[in-house]
Chain A
Amino acid sequence: MSGFGITVAFWILAALTLASAGGVMASRNLIHAVLFLIVAFLGVSGFFILLSADFLAMAQIIIYVGAISVLILFAIVLTPRAERDNSETSMVLPALLLGTTLAAVLLFVLYDANWNVTNVEPGLSAEVLGSALLSVWVLPFELASVLLTAALVGALMIVRRQEDEEGDSAS
């Protein structure tokens, strides 16, 4: 995979994604952290486009940027008197140590291993993915729809107020 435009796009996306992940870590305000998180999601979808996974890039934008970020913002707005700050607990130093160690070990494995790579474009498209989802993975596909329904009903039941249930039974 070479070419001037692709290389420049990769480095810009890498800087954008990692800097906004650092922004999620560093920003003190929770709303700012969510906005940084949206930029990180957009950067990852840019990587998906670079790796010619066009359908998943669109799914990433619609689901992560469009749905999950809005859900997180709603959760922040619905907890009005909670603390808005995004500070760390006293475990920040052990967490940093663990994160650095994990990254170092994984990077060592990555550069030490002898990967069997090819540079041929696999020719994957949304059409191939769709037919694979409805032939080989049709059972997990249906289970995913059941899971989404269960998550929807479960989330509604969890946030339901106690008074609402009493009002329902009285009426």
Chain B
Amino acid sequence: MTLTLEHFLTVSILLFAMGLVIALSKRNSIGILMGVELMLNAVNLVLITFARFGESTMSITGHAFVAFIITVAAAEAAVALALVISVYRTRGTIEVDRLKLLRF
């Protein structure tokens, strides 16, 4: 049996959909962040798959893009968790349903 582009892309599509459901439905803001990280991982997998199977002489572009995405994801996670801790200090909760100061 030969592994093709479709195998890897199917896995990453399913991973992305699961990350989307987690990010949209979790009550805890740290849970939402976990969903976002899963979605970023799925996108990285798509880029690496096309770098391996795509017909191009510039396949290393996909790898470089993934390196930058990992960098930005690390920065995003650090800032987001700092925000979570800051919100916890002022409001005493990190559940998104109860953070409704701007909603009336």
Contact = CB atoms under 8 A, between A and B. Distances in A.
15 contacts: A18-B11, A44-B41, A51-B8, A59-B70, A60-B70, A63-B73, A82-B93, A83-B28, A86-B27, A86-B28, A89-B96, A94-B24, A99-B24, A110-B9, A147-B71
A155 B79 contact: yes
A123 to B, nearest CB: 9
A122 B59 contact: yes
B78 A152 contact: yes
- Interface SS majority for chain B: helix
Interface of B: 1-11, 13-22, 24-28, 30-31, 33-35, 37-38, 41, 44-45, 48-49, 51-55, 59-61, 63-64, 66-68, 70-79, 81-86, 88-89, 92-97
A88 B27 CA distance: 5
A41 B92 CA distance: 30
Contact of A10 (B7, B9, B86): B7
- Interface SS majority for chain A: helix
B74 A63 contact: yes
Contact of B21 (A2, A33, A87, A96): A96
Given A21-B38, A79-B85, A2 B48 contact: no
B97 A2 contact: no
Given A51-B48, A51-B49, 11 more contacts: A1-B3, A25-B21, A37-B37, A37-B38, A56-B44, A71-B77, A89-B97, A117-B4, A124-B51, A137-B64, A158-B79
A30 B30 contact: yes
Given A44-B41, A72-B77, A88-B26, A110 B6 contact: yes
A102 B71 contact: no
